[in-house]
Structure formats: structure tokens, C-alpha cells
Structure 1
Amino acid sequence: MSALTDAKAPTLAEIEELAFAAYERLPEAFRRLSAGVQILVDDFPDEETMTEMQCETEFDLLGLFRGVGLAQSGEVATGQMPNMVWLYRRPLLDYWAEHDETLGHLVTHVLVHEIGHHLGLSDDDMEAIEAAADAAA
């Protein structure tokens, strides 16, 4: 019980560590296709994102892919921002507190799905990639 007495919510840096560890467990082919995607963690989406995504509250998004997906990309345009996956710490923690899964699994799930959008993958493809990452854990 003493471990819980001193427990604190994971920081932005700790969620980022979970995300990078999850990314390293993903299948090599998936990582190769998603090379160059930046993984960023923030507490909440910004106002512009909330408006664009029609969020009712700041807890509506767990993560978001920003950029040009492989299915839409051709040549990289000058001045084009890099592809990025945002993970939102507070919504992730809120979801985690209400569901029966580990935080590591939840971070992996959101990361795979956001990168999966970049790659244009189906839900079945993403489930298989998640299963491979879980097996590697």
C-alpha cells in the first residue's frame, strides 16, 4: 500500500518515455514506414485543435496526427511541417482511470492508431500491430 501513498500522476516526460518505448516495440516494417514522424506530448490540445476537431471539452482527444499522410503525400513541399503525433496526457490519464487497462497499453494503442492514420491502415491492420507490440513487451 505504501507505493500508492507516494504515487503521483505521470509527468509529460514520463508519458513521452512510455510513447518512445511503445514505438520501439512496434514491428520494424511499421517503424520504417513511419520514420520521421515526431511524437509530442502535451497536457491538452490547443484551442485551434479543439475548434478544428469540434471538441466539446479538452478531454475529447487522446491523440492526434498532424501532417500529410502517406496516402495523400507526393513530394514534400517546401516549408511543409514534419508529420507529428500528439498525445494528450490529461485526457489519457482520465481515460486510463475509467478503464481496466494499463497506461502503457493505452499509450501504445493511441500511438498506433494515430500513426496508422498517417499510413492509411485499416483497424484490423492496427490491431495486428498493437498485438505485435504487446507480444514484444
Structure 2
Amino acid sequence: MSDLASLRAPDLAEIEALAHDAFAALPEAFRARCEGVAIHVEDFPDEETLDDMGCETEFDLLGLFRGVGLAQSGEVESGRMPNAIWLYRRPLLDYWAEHDETLGDLVTHVLVHEIGHHFGLSDDDMARIEAAAGEG
């Protein structure tokens, strides 16, 4: 019997473990600036999130940062929800199945991207940083 016959898709806890391992592997200075940021893993974004983000399908969003970025935070408002990152298992697995990278690398990439939003970076900022890093 082939080893492939016994494979199954990672569950929520396994994706969460990948995310926590990826976070733990980041430089300490980077992690320190993420104090209090919660990491959640769900199968899919909820309908409100899909609407807010202008998604056409529930597979369009791999991850999401919700909160106030460090660059915009100023004083902490009373009653404000803590900053949090969501990773979406089913869209991640769908993307992974169609691309040539490891699941761990994909989870790390999406997590770092969402942490970039926590730092106050836009998608355009991060695209420029990634392009520059690819040139080096």
C-alpha cells in the first residue's frame, strides 16, 4: 500500500501548529512587536468578512489581519478588540494544492503578510518589499 493512501488534509489544529511554529521561527525583535496579537485558524472567513473584503468566493481569502496597525495605533481605545490574525484552512489547502510550495512555507508567507498589516504596511508596500527581496 502506498504512503499516499493514508494521507489526509491537515485539520485546524495542525494548521494552527504550523502557524505557531512559523511565528516562533521569526526573529525575536519581530515577535516582540507582535505582543498581544492573537492567531486564529478557521476553515473559511465568515460572510461578513467576505463582504467586507469584496471576495467573490469563500476561497478568495487566505488570511486576514483585523485591528489597528502599529503605525496607526496611538492610544488604546477602551473597548477596542485586540489585534488578531486569521488564517483560513480550506483556502490555504486549495492554494497549496495548485502551487509548488510546501504547506509550511505557505502558512509562513501568509502569516508574515498579515503581520505586515499589523506593522501598518499596505499590500502595495509588501509587494514592493517582496519584489526587492527577490532581486537580492
Tell me the TM-score normalized by structure 1. 0.88
Structure 2 residue 6 is matched with structure 1 residue 11: no
Counterpart residue type for residue 19 of structure 1: A
| Residues in 1 aligned to 2:9 and 2:30: alpha-carbon distance in whole angstroms | 30
* Structure 2 residue aligned with 1:132: none
In structure 2, the residue corresponding to 1:120 is in which secondary structure? Answer: coil
Q: Which ranges of structure 1 fall in alignment gaps of 5 or more residues?
A: 129-137
Cα RMSD of the aligned pairs, angstroms, is 1.7
Structure 2 residue 26 is matched with structure 1 residue 26: yes
| Residues in 2 aligned to 1:7 and 1:87: alpha-carbon distance in whole angstroms | 22
Shift of 1:46: 0.2
Deviation per CA, 1:38-92, whole angstroms, max 9, x where unpaired?
0000000000000000000000000000001001101111111110000000000
The equivalences for 1:44-123 within 5 A come to 44-121=44-121, 122-123=125-126
Larger relative contact order, structure 1 or 2 (CA cutoff 8 Å, min sep 6): 1
Q: Which ranges of structure 2 fall in alignment gaps of 5 or more residues?
A: none
Tell me the TM-score normalized by structure 2. 0.89
* Structure 2 residue aligned with 1:40: 40
User: Do the aligned partners of 2:72 and 2:120 also contact (CA within 8 Å) in 1?
Assistant: no
**Identity score, percent:** 72
Shift of 1:2: 2.6
Which stretches of structure 1, 4 residues or longer, exceed 6 Å deviation after superposition?
none
Counterpart residue type for residue 39 of structure 1: I
Q: Which moved more, 1:116-125 or 1:92-101?
A: 116-125
Shift of 1:4: 1.1
Shift of 1:3: 2.1
Deviation per CA, 1:98-129, whole angstroms, max 9, x where unpaired?
0000000000000000011110244227x86x
